[in-house]
Structure formats: C-alpha cells, structure tokens
Amino acid sequence: MRRHDGEAPDGYPEIHHLTTPLRAAAAAAGDADWLNLWAGTGFDRTLAGPASRILAALRP
C-alpha cells in the first residue's frame, strides 16, 4: 500500500472484492497462505503459540 499511496483501496469491502478470485483459488488448492482473515481493531493483542496453551491461559 505504501508503494501505491493514493491509488490503493482503503480497505473493506474494496479489498474483499478485489481479492475474491485469489482467495477462491487458494481455498480450492488448500493453500492457507493466500487466504485472509480479518482481525479487527484488536489484532495487536493477539497471542502467538499453540491454541491449547492460548485457550488454557484464557480460562479463569
């Protein structure tokens, strides 16, 4: 986006529509590296690690 300042779409839903063919091809090929998952505004609070450890840490 930095290279295309002023030309690139700002975000949802434009990016969603532009990348639909890429995501469909990736899903058909089973290639999760080309699928996007929207994280929302709290993405900076995500935790890295195995899901079992993260879920255990969330339990009271």
What are 15-51's pLDDT values in tens digits?
A: 788 889 998 999 999 998 888 766 778 888 888 899 9
Domain assignment present for residue 25? The answer is: yes
Contact present, 23 and 36 (Cβ < 8 Å): yes
**Structural domain that includes position 14:** 1-34
Give the integer Cα–Cα distance in Å for 51 and 57. Answer: 10
Q: What is the pTM (predicted TM-score) of this model?
A: 0.46
Higher per-residue confidence, 19 vs 6: 19
- Answer yes or no: is pLDDT of 9 > 60: yes
Domain assignment present for residue 58? The answer is: no
- Answer yes or no: is pLDDT of 56 > 60: yes
Decide: residue 23, CB within 10 A, 0-12 exposed, 13-18 middle, 19+ buried.
middle
Q: How many domains does one find in the chain?
A: 1
Domain assignment present for residue 24? The answer is: yes
Higher per-residue confidence, 16 vs 56: 56
